[in-house]
A and B are shown apart, each in its own frame.
Chain A
Amino acid sequence: MSQAQLPRIMRGREWARPVRPARREVLSAAPAVEEGRPPLLFVPGFGHGAWTFAEHWLEHTAGRGFPAYALSLRGHGGSGPAPEATLRAYAHDVTQVAAGLPRQAVLVGHGAGALVVRHALARYPARAAVLVAPVLGDWATLATALRRNPVGTLPAVVGGRLRLSHRQLFSRDLPEADARRYASRLGRAGRRAQWQLLTHRAPEPAVGDPPVLVLGSPDDRVVPPAALTRAARRHGGAPLLFPGMGHDLMLDARWREPIDAILDWLEKDQASA
Chain B
Amino acid sequence: MSPSTDPGHPQPEATTLLTRDGRPVSDRGDTVCVIGAGASGLTAAKNLKEHGFGVDCYERETGVGGAWNWRHDRSPVYASTHLISSRPFTQFPDFPMPDDWPDYPHHSQLLSYFERYADHFDLRQHIWFGTEVVRVEPVAGDRWDVTTRSTGGYGPERTSRYAAVVVANGHNWSPKLPRYEGLEEFRGEVMHASSYKDPAQLRGKRVLVVGAGNTGCDIAVEAAQQASHCWHSTRRGYWYAPKYVFGRPADRVNDRLIALRVPLRVRQWLYHWTLRLTVGDLTRFGLPKPDHRVYETHPIVNSQLVYYVGHGEITPVPDVARFHAKAVELTDGREVDPELVVFATGYLPRFEFLDPALLGDADGSGRPRLWLNAFASGQPTLAVVGLVQPDSGVFTLSHWQAVLFARLLRQRVTRPERAAAFAKRVAAGAGERYSGRVKDSSRHWFEVGHADYLRAVQRALHQLEGK
A interface residues (Cβ-Cβ under 8 A, vs B):
1-3, 6-21, 92, 95-96, 99-104, 123-125, 207-208
Contacts and interface: CB of A to CB of B under 8 A. Distances in A.
28 contacts: A2-B466, A2-B467, A3-B462, A6-B466, A9-B400, A9-B458, A12-B256, A14-B88, A15-B88, A15-B255, A15-B259, A16-B88, A16-B252, A16-B255, A17-B252, A17-B256, A18-B87, A18-B99, A19-B99, A20-B99, A95-B96, A96-B99, A99-B95, A99-B120, A102-B119, A104-B121, A123-B93, A124-B94
A21 B120 CA distance: 22
A255 to B, nearest CB: 30
B97 to A, nearest CB: 8
A102 B119 CA distance: 7
A97 to B, nearest CB: 10
Contacts of A99: 95-96, 120
Nearest to A100: B98
Contacts of A14: 88
Given A17-B252, A103-B120, A208-B94, 15 more contacts: A3-B466, A3-B467, A6-B465, A9-B400, A10-B454, A12-B255, A12-B258, A15-B88, A16-B252, A16-B259, A92-B96, A103-B122, A125-B94, A207-B50, A207-B94
Nearest to A101: B120
A204 B455 CA distance: 18
User: Which of B87, B259, B467 is the most central at the interface, judged by chain A CB atoms within 10 Å of its CB?
Assistant: B259
Contacts of B93: 9, 11, 123
A10 B96 contact: no
B70 interface: no
B282 interface: no
A205 to B, nearest CB: 11
Contacts of A123: 93-94, 96
A39 to B, nearest CB: 10
Contacts of B255: 12, 15-16
Contacts of B466: 1-3, 6
Interface of B is mostly: helix
A52 to B, nearest CB: 24
A147 to B, nearest CB: 40
B256 A9 contact: no
9 closest residue pairs by CB, A with B: A12-B259, A16-B256, A21-B99, A15-B88, A16-B255, A9-B458, A3-B466, A18-B88, A16-B252
A10 to B, nearest CB: 6
B461 interface: yes
A127 B70 CA distance: 32
Nearest to A103: B120
Contacts of B252: 15-18
A95 B89 CA distance: 16
A10 B451 contact: yes
Contacts of B121: 104, 125
Contact of B403 (A7, A12, A18): A7
Contact of A10 (B88, B458, B465): B458
Interface residues of B, number: 33
Contacts of A10: 451, 454-455, 458
A13 B257 CA distance: 9
A9 B94 CA distance: 11
B325 interface: no
Nearest to A13: B259
Contacts of B79: none
B457 interface: yes
A124 B117 CA distance: 12
Contacts of A95: 96
B180 to A, nearest CB: 41
B14 interface: no
A99 to B, nearest CB: 5
B210 to A, nearest CB: 34
B100 interface: yes
A92 B91 CA distance: 14
A260 B308 CA distance: 64
Contacts of A15: 88-89, 252, 255, 259
Given A6-B466, A19-B99, A21-B99, A102 B120 contact: yes
B142 to A, nearest CB: 23
Contact of A1 (B258, B400, B455, B465): B465
Given A1-B465, A6-B461, A10-B454, A96 B98 contact: yes
Contacts of A1: 465-467
Contacts of B357: none
Nearest to A5: B465
A15 B461 CA distance: 21
B421 interface: no
A9 B161 CA distance: 33
Contacts of A104: 120-122
B458 A96 contact: no
B253 interface: yes
B336 to A, nearest CB: 42
Interface in B32-47: none
Interface in B439-465: 451, 454-455, 457-458, 461-462, 465
Interface string B228-253: 00000000000000000000000011
B109 to A, nearest CB: 13
Nearest to A8: B458
A122 to B, nearest CB: 9
Contacts of A96: 96, 98-99
Contacts of B96: 92, 95-96, 99, 123
Interface in B59-112: 87-89, 93-96, 98-100
A245 to B, nearest CB: 34
A265 B400 CA distance: 32
A94 to B, nearest CB: 11
A116 B255 CA distance: 26
Contacts of B50: 125, 207-208
B250 to A, nearest CB: 11
Contacts of A102: 119-120
A3 B458 CA distance: 11
A2 B462 CA distance: 9
B239 to A, nearest CB: 21
Contacts of A12: 255-256, 258-259, 451
A216 to B, nearest CB: 28
A101 B120 CA distance: 7
A16 B253 contact: yes
B201 to A, nearest CB: 36
A238 B242 CA distance: 55
A11 B93 CA distance: 10
A10 B465 CA distance: 17
